[in-house]
Structures are given as C-alpha cells and as structure tokens.
Amino acid sequence: MSTPHNSAKPGDFAKTVLMPGDPLRAAFIAETFLESPHLVNNVRGIQGYTGSYKGVPVSVMASGMGMPSIGIYSHELYSLYGVENIMRIGSAGAISEKLKLRDVVAGQGACTNSNFARQYGLPGTFAPIADFTLLETAVSAAREMGVEMPVGNLLSSDTFYDASKSSMKWAQMGVLAVEMEAAALYMTAAYLGKRALAICSISDSIVTGEELSAEERQTTFTTMMKIALETAVKMQDK
C-alpha cells in the first residue's frame, strides 16, 4: 500500500483528513487538538497524524506547497487510503479590501492560472468547486462558533512571485483571496468522486501590504483549525 510519498498502512487514515501546507502546522494541530495522535507518515518530513476529536477519528497531514504537491497527496489519500473528505486549511493573501488579517474564508470555487486540468482532456474549461455538503457543514460549524466566514471564489496560483502582478485583476471579478492549492484539490476530488473544501486564514493583504510572520501563521490560525475539526465531527455520518 505504501507509495514513494506515503508509508502509511491501510486503515491508518481517518475518513476525513485536514491538510495544511506546512508540516509544522500539521504537527501543531495534532498535538494541540487531537486525542492520542500518532504519526502515520513522515516520508519527506510531510508529517501525517491520526487521532480523534470529540471521539471522532480525524487525520491531519501536510500537503506541501503548490498544486503539484497537493495533487499527489490528495490523489493517494482518496484512491489508496479510503479517505472521503479532505479539507485544505491553509493561508491566503487577501485581494478583497473587505478582508482583514486572520479572517477565515471558505472557497466555494477556485479560479486558477494553472494547466492542472489539461490532464483530463476536457473539451473546454473546467470550473473547480468545493463539495456542497462539506461547504454547508463548515458554514454551519462556523456560525455555531460565532464566526463570520465569507464564502466565495479563491484564486489558486502557480506562482508566488508573480511577474505579471495580476492578482488585483481577479479582485475585480469578486475573487476574495489568492492561495496555491485549492483548485488542484477540487479537481482531484471531482475526478475521483470524493469531497473537498478549502478553508483559508488571511495571512497577508495584497491590498494593504500587511502580513503575519511565519511563526504566527503556524500557531495562530486556530479559528480555521477549529472550524475544520468541528466540520469533521459533523461529517462523520454523512
């Protein structure tokens, strides 16, 4: 069952996996929120853990940076390890002036400048969207926590240092924030008949120039983490 990227055994992963980009954030979530977490994969230092939250089995594993990376890990989790739900819980840069640092947003859709969809040989342009059940459940969980979580389009970019500086053009189309993984996750889930959702915390603002430090990104995005964990509990019987 092991792959070049995952040494876990069958049954090591729960039905729902939370995927931050940063392995250290995966470890933080496991050690802070999960009961009896145990390491199930550490190939390339990616750090995958399984434990329980409020009695419900939950796994957390890093995705690395970018669409190729999350494309590999999500495909293997869905197709080889029986995972049904993957929630990306990562950072994003605000391109909407309505968003502030540490706001949490949910990606109903994920625009992209990537050619990831070309592999499917489609005769047109695919629109990557979140699974509605996961999205509706996460919105409900956030509301119960008293958190206002904007829902809308994200931009999944293949470039962090964007020479074209085109992010704000996407903002004119109502896109909320830019990140680097959601579109590939949504496409992989669609192709394999699984569920996916991206919930992101705003780590910086392209509008104002504000940004959080690497340490703050790693340890202070707890609202996003709790929304995802509560969603995992609610999804247990869905």
Model's pTM, two decimal places?
A: 0.95
Catalytic residues: 204
Query: What top-level class would CATH report for the domain 16-234?
Result: alpha beta
Instruction: For residue 50, give both structure tokens.
Output: 């399984």
pLDDT tens-digit profile of 27-40? 999 999 999 999 99
Q: Give alpha helix (H) positions in 34-66.
A: none
pLDDT value of residue 165? 77
* CA 190 remoteness from chain centre: 15
Instruction: For residue 149, give both structure tokens.
Output: 């979580």
Spans of all domains in the chain: 16-234
Name residues of the chain where pLDDT drops below 50: none
Instruction: For residue 94, give both structure tokens.
Output: 């605000």
42 to each of 5, 6, 64, 115, 181, how far by Cα in Å? 9, 7, 12, 29, 20
pLDDT value of residue 8? 79
Amino acid identity, residue 118?
R
pLDDT value of residue 4? 77
pLDDT value of residue 218? 64
pLDDT value of residue 219? 63
pLDDT value of residue 1? 66
pLDDT value of residue 168? 84
